[in-house]
Structure formats: C-alpha cells, structure tokens
Amino acid sequence: MAIRVALAEDVPQLAKGMVQKFNAFEGMTLEIIASNGLDLLEKIKEKEVDIVLMDINMPVMDGIEATRKVRKLYPDLKIIMHTVFDEDDKIFESILAGASGYILKDDKPARLIMAIEDVLEGGAPMSTSIASKVLSFIKGQADEKQVEFNLTKRELQILQHIGKGQNYQQIADVLFISPKTVRNHIEKIYKKLQVHNKVDAVTLAIKNNLISS
C-alpha cells in the first residue's frame, strides 16, 4: 500500500514542484495539498493520510501552530517540518509542538523520501545542519547545568572522596587539611547543590557528571 502524504505549502510553485518529485517515486502518493495550517486541518478531516510535510511560514495558520493542533486531534499522525528556516527557535518550537522530523527544502528529493520512510518506522530524521544545532543545544544545556553549581576544584575533590565512602578524617589526611576544613567545605557543597546529606550530594554530583561513580 502506498504511503499517503499531505503537504502544507503556501507557495503554489513549490507545491507544484513537490507533486513532480513525488511522481518520480513509487510507493508514495501526495493525497492532500493545503495552502496553510487551517486548510490542512479541514482537508485531513475528509481524507486519511499517513504523514504530513509541514511548511512553517504560512498565512492564516503557520506550521508550528498547525502541528500543535494536528498532534492534538490526530496523535498518531506523523509530521515532518519541511522548511527553509534553520533558526534555533523555529527548530525547537517545532519539536516541542510535536514534529517527528525537520528537513530543509534544499535537501535532495531522495533525502526527503528517506526521511518519510524513517519517520514511519519510528525515527526522527533531520537535515545534517539541523541535527548539529540540536546536538549543540543539548550539549550547551548539559554544560550549563554543571556550571550552575559553581563548585571549586577543592569541593569537587572532596565530593569525589565522599563518593568513595571516606569520612572527614580520611579526606583530611589525603588532602593534607584539617577535618574542620573538610566539614566547612562540605557545608558549602550542600548549600551549592541544595542538598542536606552525603548520599544526595553524591547522587546529584554523579548524575551531573561532576564526579565519577
């Protein structure tokens, strides 16, 4: 059975070009062509499809808002954003709205066809440049989480020793400081991590890659 595709695209010339692209591939049919998000919502009431290719910048109702509404009404219907926009805010708004993939219009037709097949198999395809932005964002978020605690090198050392099960005296002996100084550092660690005991401190530190397990 052919994969049934709906296209939301407000530029007639681009929509016509998509028809030609799909005619060149077997196993897929372009069942719906909508000029905006609202038009798409009306048309998918009348005709069942397997996947939606969603432009972002459209009149009446843009692609991100349409994605939210489609996901609410048809939670199993897959959506791939098909757009010229590669700005971070557009990417993440689309993903949060429920898009399963994000493909730029300047990608080769074969890449789009592969993306459709990938999404229907449970994947989340993205253009290479989009995937790089997403990975950079995730890495940046992880780095920010670690920086937020603002632990000093000495505090990290003490946390590592606590994680090994060492007591105040043992830590003091290893680091050549007094047990009182160790206690003062631990109090500061608790305050920065917003915890109240060693177990919670170590658990949080390991979870955020502050120390090794």
Residues 114-154: pLDDT tens digits? Answer: 999 999 999 988 888 887 777 666 666 555 555 468 899 99
- Show the CA angle centred on residue 84, arms to residues 74 and 108, nearest 5°: 90
- Let me know whether 25 and 109 are in one domain: yes
- Let me know whether 19 and 101 are in one domain: yes
Residue 210's pLDDT is 86
Rounded to a whole number of angstroms, the distance between the first and last alpha carbons of the chain is 51
Averaged pLDDT for residues 87-93: 85
Taking 70 as the threshold, does the pLDDT of residue 203 lie above it? yes
Does any domain span residue 138?
Answer: no
Residue 159's pLDDT is 93
pTM of this structure: 0.64
User: Which range is least confidently modeled, 30-39, 81-90, 153-162?
Assistant: 81-90
Does any domain span residue 79?
Answer: yes
Neighbour order of strands in the sheet with 101-104: 28-34, 3-8, 51-54, 78-83, 101-104
Q: Identify the domain containing residue 195 by its residue range.
A: 146-207
Does any domain span residue 161?
Answer: yes
The CATH number that applies at residue 170 is 1.10.10.10
Give the tens place of pLDDT for each residue, 37-86. Answer: 999 999 999 999 999 999 999 999 999 999 999 999 999 999 999 999 88
Cα(104)–Cα(127) distance, rounded to whole angstroms?
A: 6
CB 9 within 8 A of CB 18: yes
Provide the sign of the torsion angle of the four alpha carbons 64, 68, 71, 74, taken in this order. negative
Does any domain span residue 9?
Answer: yes
Does any domain span residue 135?
Answer: no
- Let me know whether 74 and 115 are in one domain: yes
How many folded domains does the chain comprise?
2
- Let me know whether 114 and 201 are in one domain: no
Residue 65's pLDDT is 96
Q: Identify the H or E element spanning 29.
A: strand 28-34
